[in-house]
Amino acid sequence: MRYLGIDFGTKRVGLALSDEAGAMGFPHSIVPNDSRLLDELTALIEREKVGGIVMGESRNSNGDDNAVMKPARELAKDLEAATGLPVHFEFEAFTTQEASRDFEGERRTGKFLVDASAAAIILTSYLSHN
């Protein structure tokens, strides 16, 4: 089964897809976080025959949901309603920083690769224990 990984951000959303066996996540793309987000995600899910969705769960240093989690959880509910697929949350800590290390000094690729790579890290983490 193919999975979609989501690194939710207030401006951009990084996306990753797993291989068809659902063993590992690979960076796919980023999409702007705007009014078309839900439609773009549901179209990708249909086009790629995604059977599972994994979204990063972001928390503050106290372990509580941070500010980005409220809109992320709203998107998860909307995705579940639109696709009939459950959204699984995977704790993410410093995934953007981890992804950034791979692209230091690459100005032209910058945020695209970092956000999509962070989504792949989140997805691969989830797949490694499920």
Q: Taking the chain, what is the end-to-end CA distance rounded to the nearest angstrom?
A: 12
7-48: pLDDT as tens digits:
999 999 999 999 999 999 999 999 999 999 999 999 999 999
Contact 84, 120 (CB under 8 A): no
pTM of the model: 0.87
Q: What are the structural domains of the chain?
A: 2-128 (3.30.420.140)
68-126: pLDDT as tens digits:
999 999 999 999 999 999 999 998 865 555 544 554 444 444 455 778 888 999 999 99
* Alpha-carbon span 52 to 36, nearest angstrom: 21
Q: What is the pLDDT of residue 35?
A: 97
* Alpha-carbon span 104 to 34, nearest angstrom: 28
Contact 16, 127 (CB under 8 A): no
